[in-house]
Amino acid sequence: MTAKFSSIPADRLPDLLQAMPKAELHMHIEGSLEPELIFALAQRNGVALSYPSVEALREAYAFTDLQSFLDIYYAGASVLLKEADFHDMAWAYFLRAKADNVVHAELFFDPQTHTERGVAFETVIRGLTSACERARSELGISSALIMCFLRHLSEEDAFKTLEQALPYREHFIGVGLDSSERGHPPEKFARVFAKCRELGLRLVAHAGEEGPPEYIINALDVLKVERIDHGVRCVEDPALVQRLAQQGTPLTVCPLSNIKLCVFKTMAEHNLRTLLDAGLKVTINSDDPAYFGGYVNENYLETFAALPLDASHAYTLARNSLEASFVDEAHKAGWISQLDEVFARAA
Q: Indicate the residue among 109 and 335 with the shorter CB distance to ligand ADE.
A: 109
Q: Residue 236: phi, psi to the nearest 5?
A: -75, -10
> Does residue 228 come out as left (phi exceeding 0), alpha (psi in the -120 to 50 range) or beta?
beta
Question: Which residue of this chain has its Cβ atom nearest to ligand ADE in the complex?
Answer: 178
Query: Rounded to an integer, what distance in angstroms lies between the CA atom of residue 292 and that of residue 257?
Result: 6
User: What residues numbered 268-307 form the site for Zn ion, per CB under 5 A?
Assistant: 287
What is the SS3 assignment for 82?
coil
Q: Looking only at residues 257 through 286 of this chain, which bind ligand ADE when binding is defined by CB under 6 A?
A: 257
Catalytic-role residue among 30, 106, 209, 210: 209
Does the footprint of ligand ADE cover residue 106 (CB under 6 A)? Answer: no
Q: Please choose which of Zn ion, ligand ADE, none residue 92 contacts, taking the beta carbon within 5 to 8 angstroms, the exact cut-off set by kind.
A: none
31 is a site residue for ligand ADE (CB under 6 A)? yes
Tell me the C-alpha distance between 88 and 117, whole Å: 19
Query: Binding to ligand ADE (CB under 6 A): which residues in 61-80?
Result: 66, 73
**Contacted entry of Zn ion, ligand ADE, none for residue 271, CB cut-off 5 to 8 Å set by kind:** none
Contact 343, 20 (CB under 8 A): yes
Of the pair 258, 320, the CB lying nearest ligand ADE is at 258
Residue 24 binds ligand ADE, judged by CB under 6 A: no
Strand order in the sheet with 22-28: 22-28, 102-109, 142-150, 174-178, 202-207, 227-230, 250-253, 281-284
Beta-carbon contacts of 32 under 8 Å, excluding residues fewer than 6 positions away, are 89, 90, 92, 93, 96, 288, 289, 290
- 106 scored as a contact of Zn ion (CB under 5 A): no
Give the one residue of 202, 206, 233, 270 binding ligand ADE; rule: CB under 6 A.
206
Any idea of the CA torsion for 245, 250, 256, 261, to the nearest 10 degrees? -80
- Residue 209 touches which member of Zn ion, ligand ADE, none, C-beta under 5-8 Å by kind: ligand ADE
Cβ distance to ligand ADE smaller for residue 100 or 178: 178
Q: Is 288 in the site for ligand ADE (CB under 6 A)?
A: yes
Using CB under 6 A, pick the residue from 16, 23, 24, 28 that binds ligand ADE: 28
Q: Is 209 tagged catalytic?
A: yes
Under rule CB under 5 A, residue 85 binds Zn ion: no
Q: What is the DSSP letter of 287?
A: B
| Alpha carbons 228 and 26: distance in angstroms, whole number | 10
Which of 298/310 has CB closer to Zn ion? Answer: 298
User: Dihedral sign, CA of 320, 321, 322, 323?
Assistant: positive
Distance CA 67, CA 116 (A): 19
Nearest to 235 by CA among 182, 282, 271, 184: 271
Does 34 engage in binding with ligand ADE (CB under 6 A)? Answer: no
How many residues bind ligand ADE (CB under 6 A)? The answer is 11
* Residue number, 103 or 256, with CB nearest to ligand ADE: 256
The residue ranges that bind ligand ADE (CB under 6 A) are: 28, 31, 66, 73, 178-179, 206, 209, 257, 287-288
Which residues are identified as catalytic? 209
